[in-house]
Amino acid sequence: MRLGFFGDVMGRSGRLALIKHLPNLRKKLALDFVVVNGENAAGGFGITPRICEDLFDAGADVLTTGNHAFDQRDDVQHFDQEMRLLRPANFPLSNPGRGSGLYPAANGADVLVVHLHGQRFMNPMDDPVPALEQALDGIKLGREVAAIIVDMHAEASSEKYSLAHYLDGQVSLVIGTHTHVPTADAQILPGGTAFQCDAGMCGDYDSVIGMEKSTPVHRFVHKMPGNRLHPASGEATICGLFVEVDERTGLAQQCHPIRVGGRLRPTLPPL
């Protein structure tokens, strides 16, 4: 079984690039299931129902979000209406939507997706571990589901690594999002769980983590508020991770970074 995960979609540039490339990537890599983190897809802040449909039409099976999940305030009810759209499971229970779900893959198997929010250097949030354990309760990898994907949306690499080692052997993939920079540590942990500390973004890398660079540079140098932040509009690089899992156990057999287009050096799995 082949899984694809694509990192934070950043603004129009990242959105259009992913919509352009994902259908071909899904076919070329024979992906059975695709998760996309779309929390910055709407002008860099949040996501809308129309963008959700565009990403689903392009080949995403599930969309995760993060700390910007509800930035498009007029559209927050969509989290209750669209089962394939997740907000972090450790958001307050009063929030709309859900933090995990069971979904069918193209090969007919079931995939569990769990979305979590970090605590270090982030807005205060509930402990992700109880929310994780609730989502996994009664579900065993390779028995009830063919694969389990956990998106940990966090700033601190230590949180992502700790979670990955805690879940090693219990899930197919722990993937980090939020920092918008693809890390060079894609690996399979000793127990068989694939891991990458951050998938990177789908966006223009001639930027400051996806934002047009003049305003954040001005703020950095002068320590003064500047203009409103806007997503960079140059050619985007599509960043993500390919994982192949054993259909009997749900554990990873191989994982490889994906980078297509834009400024970063391209790479695809050596299939």
Tokens, residue 83:
């089962």
pLDDT confidence of residue 61:
98
Q: pTM for the whole thing?
A: 0.96
220-254 core/surface letters (b: 16 or more CB in 10 A; e: else): eeeeeeeeeeebbeeebbbbbbbbbbeeeebbbee
Kindly list the structural domains of the chain, giving each domain's residue range(s) and its CATH number in brackets, ordered by start.
2-260 (3.60.21.10)
Is 68 one of the catalytic residues? yes
Which two three-digit tokens encode residue 195? 């891991």
Please state the rounded mean pLDDT for residues 189-212.
Answer: 97
**Per-residue pLDDT averaged across 79-96, rounded?**
96
User: Which sign does the torsion angle of CA 25, 241, 77, 135 carry?
Assistant: positive
Indicate which residue of 21, 68, 178, 256 is catalytic: 68
Check residue 231 and give its pLDDT: 94
Asked whether 209 and 198 are in contact (CB, 8 A), the reply is no
Q: Summarize pLDDT for 104-163 with one digit per residue, the tens.
A: 999 999 999 999 999 999 888 999 999 999 999 999 999 999 999 999 999 999 999 999
Please check whether residue 212 is in contact with residue 230, taking contact to mean a CB–CB distance below 8 angstroms. Answer: yes
Task: Find the helix or strand (DSSP H, E) in which 94 lies.
Answer: none
